[in-house]
Amino acid sequence: MAADRPEPPTAPEPSISLEPPTVVGRLERADPAGLPADWSRWRDQVDLAGYDERWRRMAEAGENPHGEADLVCSYRPTSVLDAGCGTGRVAIELARRGVRVLGVDADPDMIAAASAKAPELAWLHADLTGLALAERFDVVVLAGNVVPYVAAEHRAGALAGCASALAAGGRLVAGFTLRPGWPTPAQYDGWCAAAGLVPEASYATWDGAPFEDGGDYLVAVHRAER
Ligand SMILES: C[S@@+](CC[C@H](N)C(=O)[O-])C[C@H]1O[C@@H](n2cnc3c(N)ncnc32)[C@H](O)[C@@H]1O
């Protein structure tokens, strides 16, 4: 994959309506029991209030907690699907910048926490595998290790679900840790190719540091040609 840096991120003008999009989503298989053991273990260790606290502490320490939103906004989207939105931190930040958002997650507690934080936004409790939305989005973002936390046997299907939600020319932007037993960049590229997406860029960080083989984090951008 190419490793070109994106244009410096710029937030779009907040001129877009924040009306929740009309969602025609079907809950094909949103059974939390379908979430993988890795995810259950993670959930057992983390209380959701503490999870959000981590991002607040980053901001207090002068670090940027919104790298994902910055990269997504560098593509100047008017609409973004936050796929595997968790408690909604990325979608909420994008909406604050004027982007129309829909957050989707298969874990009912995560989506309930997101909805409680921002009831004015659109949230959908659904599985990315078999996702069938009427609306198409300029960007679908998979932030914060969504890809490895999708059950291994459903990753190709989840990527196909994400690709089906992209407008022509839209981008799938995903970031995840590279570690033994988790998806590799080549596997991820393969699932994207099978879903009809072409690789556009890969980075080591959300602020666009170049990706090098052997790195421990990948931010990959793929594009829907049509
Ligand atoms: C580590 S969290 C990341 C949450 C959020 N994107 C963030 O960055 O804060 C991973 C999320 O992926 C969701 N997830 C895993 N498999 C999924 C699937 N098949 N469909 C939808 N969401 C899924 C989990 O429920 C969880 O909320």
**Model confidence over 183-195: pLDDT tens digits?**
999 999 999 999 9
The Cα-based distances of 98 to 55, 94, 104, 138, 218 in angstroms read 21, 7, 19, 14, 27
Give the gyration radius of the chain's Cα atoms.
16
The answer to whether residue 40 is domain-embedded is yes
The answer to whether residue 101 is domain-embedded is yes
Task: Give, using CA atoms, the residue closest to atom 26 of ligand 1.
Answer: 86
For 110, the domain range is 32-45+52-224
The answer to whether residue 131 is domain-embedded is yes
Give the pTM.
Answer: 0.85
The pick from 27, 31, 35 for probing ligand 1's pocket by mutation, whose C-beta has the most ligand atoms within 8 angstroms, reads 35
Percent of the chain with pLDDT over 90: 70
The answer to whether residue 215 is domain-embedded is yes
**Model confidence over 184-226: pLDDT tens digits?**
999 999 999 999 999 999 999 999 999 999 999 999 999 999 7
The answer to whether residue 100 is domain-embedded is yes
Q: Which residues line ligand 1 (CB under 6 A)?
A: 35, 39, 84-86, 89-90, 105-107, 110, 127-129, 143-146, 149-150, 154, 158
Digits of tens for pLDDT over the chain (226 positions)? 444 444 444 433 333 333 444 443 334 444 554 677 777 777 777 677 777 788 788 888 888 889 999 999 999 999 999 999 999 999 999 999 999 999 999 999 999 999 999 999 999 999 999 999 999 999 999 999 999 999 999 999 999 999 999 999 999 999 999 999 999 999 999 999 999 999 999 999 999 999 999 999 999 999 999 7
Going by DSSP bridges, is the β-strand pair 197-203/217-224 parallel, antiparallel, or unpaired?
A: antiparallel
The Cα-based distances of 205 to 58, 75, 165, 217 in angstroms read 16, 16, 25, 7
**Spatial separation of the C-alpha atoms in residues 176 and 168, rounded to whole Å:** 25
CATH number at residue 68: 3.40.50.150
The answer to whether residue 23 is domain-embedded is no
Sheet containing 217-224: order of strands: 122-125, 100-105, 79-83, 137-142, 166-177, 217-224, 197-203
**What is the count of structural domains for the chain?**
1
The Cα-based distances of 122 to 19, 70, 94, 102, 125 in angstroms read 9, 21, 12, 5, 10
Burial of 126: CB neighbours in 10 Å, binned 0-12, 13-18, 19+: buried
Percent of the chain with pLDDT over 70: 85
The answer to whether residue 173 is domain-embedded is yes
The answer to whether residue 217 is domain-embedded is yes
